[in-house]
Amino acid sequence: MAWIGLKKIGNFFHLIFGSTRNTIFVLLFAGMGVSYIAVRMKNVELDYQIGELKKKSYQTFMVNKELKAERANALSSVSLRGMAEKYDLHAPSNKQILVIP
Protein backbone atom coordinates (compact mmCIF):
# COMPACT_ATOMS: atom_id res chain seq x y z
CA MET A 1 0.00 0.00 0.00
CA ALA A 2 2.85 2.41 0.78
CA TRP A 3 4.22 1.80 -2.70
CA ILE A 4 0.98 2.97 -4.22
CA GLY A 5 1.21 6.30 -2.33
CA LEU A 6 4.83 6.81 -3.38
CA LYS A 7 3.97 5.93 -6.96
CA LYS A 8 1.18 8.52 -6.96
CA ILE A 9 3.57 11.16 -5.59
CA GLY A 10 6.14 10.19 -8.21
CA ASN A 11 3.52 10.45 -10.95
CA PHE A 12 2.49 13.85 -9.62
CA PHE A 13 6.08 15.17 -9.79
CA HIS A 14 6.51 13.62 -13.23
CA LEU A 15 3.31 15.32 -14.37
CA ILE A 16 4.40 18.72 -12.98
CA PHE A 17 8.11 18.73 -13.82
CA GLY A 18 8.34 16.22 -16.68
CA SER A 19 11.49 14.40 -15.56
CA THR A 20 14.03 14.10 -12.79
CA ARG A 21 16.35 16.50 -14.58
CA ASN A 22 13.61 19.13 -14.76
CA THR A 23 12.80 18.55 -11.08
CA ILE A 24 16.41 19.22 -10.11
CA PHE A 25 16.50 22.30 -12.35
CA VAL A 26 13.31 23.72 -10.81
CA LEU A 27 14.56 23.07 -7.26
CA LEU A 28 17.90 24.73 -8.01
CA PHE A 29 16.16 27.68 -9.62
CA ALA A 30 13.84 28.01 -6.61
CA GLY A 31 16.85 27.82 -4.28
CA MET A 32 18.60 30.56 -6.24
CA GLY A 33 15.47 32.71 -6.04
CA VAL A 34 15.21 32.28 -2.27
CA SER A 35 18.94 33.03 -1.91
CA TYR A 36 18.58 36.19 -4.00
CA ILE A 37 15.68 37.40 -1.87
CA ALA A 38 17.60 36.68 1.36
CA VAL A 39 20.67 38.58 0.12
CA ARG A 40 18.53 41.48 -1.06
CA MET A 41 16.78 41.70 2.32
CA LYS A 42 20.16 41.71 4.09
CA ASN A 43 21.32 44.46 1.71
CA VAL A 44 18.30 46.61 2.58
CA GLU A 45 18.90 46.02 6.31
CA LEU A 46 22.54 47.08 5.95
CA ASP A 47 21.50 50.18 3.99
CA TYR A 48 19.29 51.23 6.91
CA GLN A 49 22.18 50.71 9.33
CA ILE A 50 24.53 52.71 7.10
CA GLY A 51 21.97 55.53 6.93
CA GLU A 52 21.70 55.63 10.72
CA LEU A 53 25.50 55.69 11.08
CA LYS A 54 25.79 58.51 8.53
CA LYS A 55 23.17 60.47 10.46
CA LYS A 56 25.05 59.98 13.75
CA SER A 57 28.32 60.89 12.05
CA TYR A 58 26.84 64.13 10.71
CA GLN A 59 25.42 65.00 14.15
CA THR A 60 28.84 64.38 15.72
CA PHE A 61 30.46 66.51 13.01
CA MET A 62 28.08 69.39 13.75
CA VAL A 63 28.64 69.16 17.52
CA ASN A 64 32.41 69.15 16.90
CA LYS A 65 32.06 72.21 14.65
CA GLU A 66 30.06 74.06 17.32
CA LEU A 67 32.61 73.16 20.00
CA LYS A 68 35.48 74.40 17.82
CA ALA A 69 33.65 77.71 17.29
CA GLU A 70 33.02 78.00 21.03
CA ARG A 71 36.69 77.27 21.78
CA ALA A 72 37.85 79.84 19.22
CA ASN A 73 35.55 82.41 20.79
CA ALA A 74 36.83 81.61 24.30
CA LEU A 75 40.48 81.86 23.17
CA SER A 76 40.06 85.09 21.21
CA SER A 77 42.21 88.02 22.30
CA VAL A 78 39.15 90.08 23.29
CA SER A 79 37.84 87.28 25.51
CA LEU A 80 41.26 86.64 27.07
CA ARG A 81 41.73 90.35 27.84
CA GLY A 82 38.28 90.43 29.42
CA MET A 83 39.13 87.45 31.64
CA ALA A 84 42.48 89.04 32.58
CA GLU A 85 40.70 92.22 33.69
CA LYS A 86 38.05 90.24 35.54
CA TYR A 87 40.61 88.26 37.56
CA ASP A 88 43.11 91.15 37.83
CA LEU A 89 45.87 89.43 35.84
CA HIS A 90 48.87 91.22 34.37
CA ALA A 91 51.55 90.34 31.86
CA PRO A 92 54.61 88.65 33.46
CA SER A 93 57.75 90.68 34.04
CA ASN A 94 61.06 89.75 32.44
CA LYS A 95 62.26 88.16 35.70
CA GLN A 96 59.28 85.82 35.74
CA ILE A 97 59.97 84.45 32.25
CA LEU A 98 62.31 81.45 32.11
CA VAL A 99 64.03 80.72 28.81
CA ILE A 100 64.85 77.04 28.39
CA PRO A 101 67.60 76.48 25.81
Q: Is 97 a domain residue?
A: no
Query: What's the domain count of the chain?
Result: 1
Q: How far apart (Å, rounded) are the C-alpha atoms in residues 36 and 28?
A: 12
Residues 6 or more apart from 26 whose CB is under 8 A from it? 17
Q: Is 79 a domain residue?
A: yes
Q: Is 69 a domain residue?
A: yes
Q: How many CA atoms lie within 13 A of 4 on its CB side?
A: 1
Coil, strand or helix at 53: helix
Prediction pTM value: 0.57
Q: How far apart (Å, rounded) are the C-alpha atoms in residues 74 and 81?
A: 11
Domain encompassing residue 59: 11-85
Q: Write out pLDDT tens, residues 32-75.
A: 999 999 999 999 999 999 999 999 999 999 999 999 999 999 99
Q: Is 61 a domain residue?
A: yes
Q: Is 65 a domain residue?
A: yes
Q: Is 4 a domain residue?
A: no
Are 59 and 52 spatial neighbours (Cβ–Cβ below 8 Å)? no
Q: Is 96 a domain residue?
A: no
Q: Is 93 a domain residue?
A: no
